[in-house]
Amino acid sequence: MAAAPPPESPKPRPTRAEAIAAQLADDIVAGRLKPGAALDEASLAAQFSVSRTPVREALRQLAPTGLVQAVPRRGCVVAVPDAAQLAEMFVVMAELEAMAAAHCAMAMTPHERRGLERQIASMAGMVRAGDVSAYRAANVAFHHLIYAGAHNGYLTEIATATRRRLAPFRAAQLEAPDRMRKSHEEHVAIVTAIQRGDAAGAAAALRAHIGVTERTWIAMAGSRRPDAA
């Protein structure tokens, strides 16, 4: 009778539009649909073997999430945030995750803390093995453990949304040499702070973690000055 963490499961059976929206979102987040790509209703309809109607509804659902940009009579394109917007989102995400980490430090249950330890141990193995793709997936899971530990569904919601929106621009982040190892060390620092109940330390560690990520991205994005905020 334990309440499910998201107390609402409004998805007894997804409708076509929802399935298409989920698929498109996934394609965008995974980078299969590149920022700026035009989303033609007719083509998508043909591609999914449905009429334009569900495709339109899917796009209209995606627009408020920020994954696609809709201009009233000119169709939709995959969102292309400029450098300043990305910087803003990184700043906010750092704060959101810091908030979650602080909360974790104070309120995580023993069971959740064990889960965190297990995740860290598992990821340590991936680092040793150099398995970047496994590490990438585990990284998402790790951050979701932090969200869950904060026991705040709304925080989880907006942090997840922010992370998704930034995902296309962080895809290659772990490719940078030695980044995976550094990332893991930062994770360890975060978990250590959480485990000893150091809320401020956990928040700071997470801010630093995201901050480094942002800098890494800026370095890879080219040679623009990294003070866009």
Given the rule CB under 8 A, which residues bind a copy of itself?
A: 3, 7-8, 10-15, 17-18, 56-57, 60-61, 63-65, 69-73, 82, 84-85, 88-89, 91-92, 95, 99, 103, 106-107, 150-155, 158, 162, 217-218, 221-222, 229
Question: Of 215, 192, 216, whose CA–CA distance to 204 is shortest?
Answer: 192
Could you tell me the smallest distance in angstroms from the CB atom of residue 20 to a copy of itself? 12
Binding region for DNA (CB under 7 A): 12-13, 15-17, 39-42, 50-54, 56-57, 70, 72-76
Could you tell me the smallest distance in angstroms from the CB atom of residue 61 to DNA? 11
* Residue that has been written with the tokens 């925080």 in this structure: 155
Residue 92 interacts, among DNA, a copy of itself, none and using kind-specific CB cut-offs from 5 to 8 Å, with a copy of itself
Could you tell me the smallest distance in angstroms from the CB atom of residue 103 to DNA? 35
Residue 115 interacts, among DNA, a copy of itself, none and using kind-specific CB cut-offs from 5 to 8 Å, with none
Element (H, E) at 107: helix 83-107
- For residue 10, give every residue at least 6 positions away whose Cβ sits within 8 Å of its Cβ, in sequence order, or none: none
- Give the tokens for residue 26: 């996934």
b/e map 50-82, b = 16+ CB within 10 Å: beeebbbbbbebbeeeebbbeeeeeebbbbebe
Could you tell me the smallest distance in angstroms from the CB atom of residue 221 to a copy of itself? 3
Task: For a copy of itself, give the closer residue by CB, 8 or 178.
Answer: 8
HSE toward the beta carbon, residue 171, CA cutoff 13 A: 12
